[in-house]
Amino acid sequence: MLAASAPEAASALLGWTLLVDGVGGVIVEAEAYAQDDPASHSYGGRTPRNASMFGPPARLYVYRSYGVHWCANVVCGPVGVGSAVLLRALEPTHGLARMRQRRGVAAERLLCAGPGRLAQALGLTGAHDGARLDRPPFRLVPPARPVDPVATPRVGITRASERPWRYVVRGSGWTSRGRPPA
């Protein structure tokens, strides 16, 4: 699954449950970044920061955004390709109390609705950069039922934002921006 292209991997990840040390939820929003993508960190070369993006798939790429937030990606594609899927939103299902504690917010809706929020709620930091997702404390649980992915324009970027590589689960109320698509 993660050996596929970034857009395919992004849509395939929807509905999976991601747990970090027993805390997490269902992936309801993900965004694809490919190597030839001007918006991707891997575009135009490898740097110390994005090195894990070029590593083996099924690992984490965690980077700092705007010097403040951490954002978590799932690396996909073969080694050296540099494509990844940005996790933008989860539906919180496990360890709500711990996520609330980390986030410092009461509103359940805002626990994981957004890349920075998601990483903070799961306790992901640069320390997890390059970590494997198929070993503890991580757990990836397949969807109980097939989900209904919807491709939408990407959000929060200025280049190639018209590529419909942002995938959300149809009807989910846990996505990061705007109202859920009909």
Can you give the binding site for DNA, defined by CB under 7 A?
A: 31, 33, 39-42, 44-45, 47-50, 53, 61, 63-69, 71, 73, 84, 86, 103, 105, 110, 114-118, 155-159, 176
Cα 153 to Cα 160: distance, rounded to the nearest angstrom: 10
Minimum distance from residue 31 beta carbon to DNA (Å): 7
Residue number with CB closer to DNA (65 or 170)? 65
Minimum distance from residue 147 beta carbon to DNA (Å): 21
Minimum distance from residue 26 beta carbon to DNA (Å): 17
Tokens of 55: 């590593």
Buried b (16+ CB within 10 A) or exposed e, 33-67: bbbebebbbbbeeeeeebebbbbebbbbbbbeeee
Residue number with CB closer to DNA (48 or 146)? 48
Buried b (16+ CB within 10 A) or exposed e, 127-150: ebbbbebeeeebbbeeeeeebebb
Q: What is the pairing mode between strands 17-20 and 23-33?
A: antiparallel
Minimum distance from residue 121 beta carbon to DNA (Å): 9
Residue number with CB closer to DNA (63 or 174)? 63
> Which 3 state secondary structure label does DSSP give 53?
helix
Residue number with CB closer to DNA (144 or 162)? 162
Residue number with CB closer to DNA (108 or 144)? 108
Minimum distance from residue 2 beta carbon to DNA (Å): 15
